[in-house]
Structure 1
Amino acid sequence: MASDSNGGEIKLTVGEDKVTTADVTKGEEIDLKNRDPENLHDHIKIQFHDVFGEPDETVFSFDFVWRFAFKLFTNVKLWCYRIVSLICGLPLAIFWGIYFAMLSFCAIWCCEPYMKAYAIELGCIRRLFNTMLNAFVRPCFEVMGYCFYNIRVQKG
């Protein structure tokens, strides 16, 4: 890590690329219209008609009540979400950023090397176990197979 000749922003080397600390997103743009492009939350896309429905023409409220309930439901849901996300969104984004950074760190620097070492250590035991099976168990089953080879079951 070093500063440029102008003493400006800090540059990092990632692979062969020189990137600034502000270029973490690699030029990815955020879509402010479609905020769930991977459809992660289809199960919570709730609209007024998903919750409320009057069954037929004989059981229904006044039109102004139905319209007002629709507007209240939609706006209260929107503004409650906006207020809660305003209060909690940024702290939770920081928390989840730290969490996934630590999770990635553990997966890269702890879990994967441990699993690789474990696989190497168990390789010796696996070879020993296979040798024991081939030496003692396999011959017994082969003999049993030869014994029952000519037995045929027919319908009476």
Structure 2
Amino acid sequence: MGLEKEKADTCVFMDEDVFHSTIEPILKKSKENARALPLPDRDPRDTNSHLKVDFQDVIGEPGSVHSFDSVWIGSHALFELVKLVFYRVLTTLLAVPMALVAGLVFGALSCVHIWIMMPLVHSCMMTLPSLRLIWSSLMETLVRPLFRSMGVCLSSISIKSCESNAP
């Protein structure tokens, strides 16, 4: 768990011939430059896959309407810059306190689970066979004879329904 240094360069190349085309060639160039220096994967289990939001996920222009290419490129660059800066400011302010709180919560939960819940569950699982034996003995000794004798007594009762036509 050492210190990790990260460099992220954001560059926007605007040539004169780019203004009449789409933004895709610019993004492809920057993605090729980004592939040269792979960043460490800080989410290897893809825990926060729902937070991978790109500019195209938020803002999209249909084929029938387009703004000026310079506006599109500028808004894309501004979006990425603000998202990056705001995230870094918030993580600078909140990461250490939230890590402290999360560490306390998960430490307490682990302690309760390991030292209270699991011994309780194992104790119950160990005593259940004995309790089952005691419970079945009580049922055989007390309840079964009572209900058997009640069944014998009540089995001799017969009920017949008669219909009367009396006015």
- Measured against the shorter chain, the TM-score band is 0.5 to 0.7
In structure 1, list runs of 5 or more residues that go unmatched. Answer: 1-24, 137-156
TM-score (ref. length: structure 1): 0.59
Distance 1:128 1:61 in 2: 81
| CA pair 89-53 structure 1, distance change in 2 beyond 3 A | same
Picking from 23, 32, 39, the partner of 2:46 is 39
| CA pair 100-61 structure 1, distance change in 2 beyond 3 A | same
Q: CA deviation at 1:30?
A: 7.2
Picking from 47, 53, 56, the partner of 2:60 is 53
Distance 1:70 1:104 in 2: 44
Q: Displaced runs of 4+ in structure 1, greater than 6 A?
A: 28-32
Query: Match of 2:45, as an amino acid?
Result: E
Q: Which residue of 1 aligns with 2:71?
A: 65
In structure 2, list runs of 5 or more residues that go unmatched. Answer: 7-39, 145-167
Aligned residues: 107
Distance 2:3 2:97 in 1: 22
Query: Match of 1:94, as an amino acid?
Result: L
Residues 68-120 of structure 1 deviation map (CA, whole Å, 9 limit, x = unaligned): 11011111111111000000000111111111111111111011001111222
| CA pair 65-121 structure 1, distance change in 2 beyond 3 A | same
Percent identity, please.
34
Q: Which residue of 1 aligns with 2:163?
A: none
Q: CA deviation at 1:124?
A: 3.0
Q: Which residue of 2 aligns with 1:77?
A: 83
Residues 18-52 of structure 1 deviation map (CA, whole Å, 9 limit, x = unaligned): xxxxxxx6xx9979621101111111111111111
Distance 1:113 1:30 in 2: 41
Q: Which residue of 1 aligns with 2:12?
A: none
Query: Match of 2:48, as an amino acid?
Result: H
Q: CA deviation at 1:127?
A: 4.0
Pairing of 1:125-144 with structure 2 (within 5 A): 125-127=131-133
Distance 1:65 1:122 in 2: 72
Distance 2:74 2:85 in 1: 16
TM-score (ref. length: structure 2): 0.55
Higher-strand-fraction structure: 1
Larger Rg over CA atoms: 2
1:92 aligns with 2:91: no
Q: Which residue of 2 aligns with 1:13?
A: none
Higher-helix-fraction structure: 2
